[in-house]
């Protein structure tokens, strides 16, 4: 039976019709172009060529409670009961976006995974999932009787812990702008901009960026592209620092969950900076945990390169609701 799956973020909303874990039709919409989610869903349903699915699961980048969700980075409110009544669904399920991503790691194929260090995953070991994009999502996949259970979380809003002197200065720089410096303030698209601004403020010579970014005008994508293509030294330094912090947080999550089943790095940024993540700073920071280094050395990290991990997970959950 066909189901409707959605992956709703502050930047993009992706909707798909799926059957047996396969995506039959997919559409992508810029979230900021719509006043509310109902308008996006109406557009998608109007574009379907045949009968529409009756079972729906939506993965939302934000806290989901009592069948309602408020995306963190866009001013929408999504109510599952209202959607069910307005669009005549049999079932509507709302879940956190990284809960969906975590379910998706059980379905994603090996061709969509790039391993960075470590050994082989333990088949029934816990999995840790994190990903930087517009924000920073985290979730855990734990084995249980008869399968797996996903534990969603909001670890991206936990405190940023600097790992060296320069990162201590970064924290102090961000304290002047934010009352609380979370991991998401550093490890996200806007976080990459924050790192770049910090390095700009410390740079003795700003010749590389003075004309372009004197007021912080570079976007996360421009910083990442300049770094990957090695056309701006300050951007390269920013992305290297970003990768180190990414690895450190991935290692933290692995320790908190004893993720012998592997750490899965999802989100929109990782596939675009894969070459930088593979250079060594990411993995070195992942393992740099003192007495726990030996334990972490064996844990594999997988970068998920597919852009529809959340849809796979949401489709899986929608199928279970039938």
How far is 235 from 208, CA to CA, in rounded Å?
A: 9
Determine the pLDDT at residue 205: 47
Q: Is the pLDDT of residue 96 over 80?
A: yes
pLDDT tens-digit series, residues 240-258:
999 999 999 999 999 999 9
Q: Is 283 within 8 Å of 301 (Cβ atoms)?
A: yes
Nearest to 308 by CA among 16, 11, 2, 4: 16
3-class secondary-structure state, position 181: coil
CATH 3.30.420.40 residue spans of the chain? 3-103+308-320
Dig out the tokens for 309 from the structure.
């991990």
Q: Which architecture, in CATH terms, is 3-103+308-320?
A: 2-Layer Sandwich (3.30)
Neighbouring C-alpha atoms within 13 Å toward the C-beta of 126:
14
CATH 3.40.367.20 residue spans of the chain? 111-305
- 95-111 in b/e burial notation, b at 16+ Cβ within 10 A? bbbbbbbbbbbeebeee
Least-confidence region, from 77-91, 200-214, 229-243, 272-286: 200-214
Cα 8 to Cα 59, 76, 105, 187: the distances in Å are: 6, 10, 18, 20
Determine the pLDDT at residue 210: 45
Neighbouring C-alpha atoms within 13 Å toward the C-beta of 283:
19
Determine the pLDDT at residue 209: 43
Q: pLDDT > 90: what percent of the chain?
A: 80
Tell me which fold the domain 111-305 belongs to: Hexokinase; domain 1 (3.40.367)
pLDDT tens-digit series, residues 44-64:
999 998 889 999 999 998 889
pLDDT tens-digit series, residues 75-85:
899 999 999 99
Q: Is the pLDDT of residue 14 over 90?
A: yes
pLDDT tens-digit series, residues 109-156:
889 999 999 999 998 999 999 999 888 989 999 999 888 999 988 899
């Amino acid at each position: 039976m066909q189901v409707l799956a959605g992956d709703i973020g502050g930047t993009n909303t992706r909707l798909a019709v799926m059957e047996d874990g396969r995506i039959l039709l997919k559409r992508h919409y810029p979230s900021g172009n719509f006043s509310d989610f109902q308008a996006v869903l109406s557009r998608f349903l109007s574009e379907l060529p045949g009968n529409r699915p009756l079972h729906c699961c939506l993965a939302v980048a934000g806290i989901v409670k009592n069948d309602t969700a408020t995306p963190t980075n866009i001013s929408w409110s999504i109510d599952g009961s209202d959607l069910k009544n307005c669009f005549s669904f049999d079932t509507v399920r709302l879940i956190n976006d990284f809960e969906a991503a975590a379910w998706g790691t059980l379905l994603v194929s090996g061709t969509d995974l790039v391993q960075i260090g470590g050994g082989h995953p333990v088949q029934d070991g816990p999995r840790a999932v994190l990903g930087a994009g517009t924000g920073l999502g985290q979730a855990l996949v734990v084995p249980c009787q008869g399968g797996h259970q996903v534990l969603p979380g909001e670890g991206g809003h936990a405190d940023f812990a600097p790992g060296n002197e320069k990162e201590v200065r970064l924290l102090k720089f961000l304290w002047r702008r934010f009352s609380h410096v979370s991991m998401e303030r550093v490890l996200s698209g806007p976080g990459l901009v924050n790192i770049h601004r910090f390095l700009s403020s410390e740079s003795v010579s700003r010749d590389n960026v003075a004309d372009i970014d004197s007021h912080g005008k570079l976007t996360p994508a421009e910083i990442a592209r300049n770094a990957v293509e090695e056309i701006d030294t300050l951007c390269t330094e920013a992305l290297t620092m970003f990768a180190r912090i990414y690895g450190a947080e991935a290692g933290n999550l692995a320790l908190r969950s004893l993720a012998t089943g592997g750490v899965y790095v999802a989100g929109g940024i990782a596939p675009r900076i894969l070459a930088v993540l593979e250079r060594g700073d990411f993995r070195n920071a992942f393992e740099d945990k003192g007495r726990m280094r030996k334990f972490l050395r064996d844990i594999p990290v997988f970068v998920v390169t597919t852009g529809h991990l959340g849809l796979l997970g949401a489709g899986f959950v929608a199928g279970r609701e039938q």
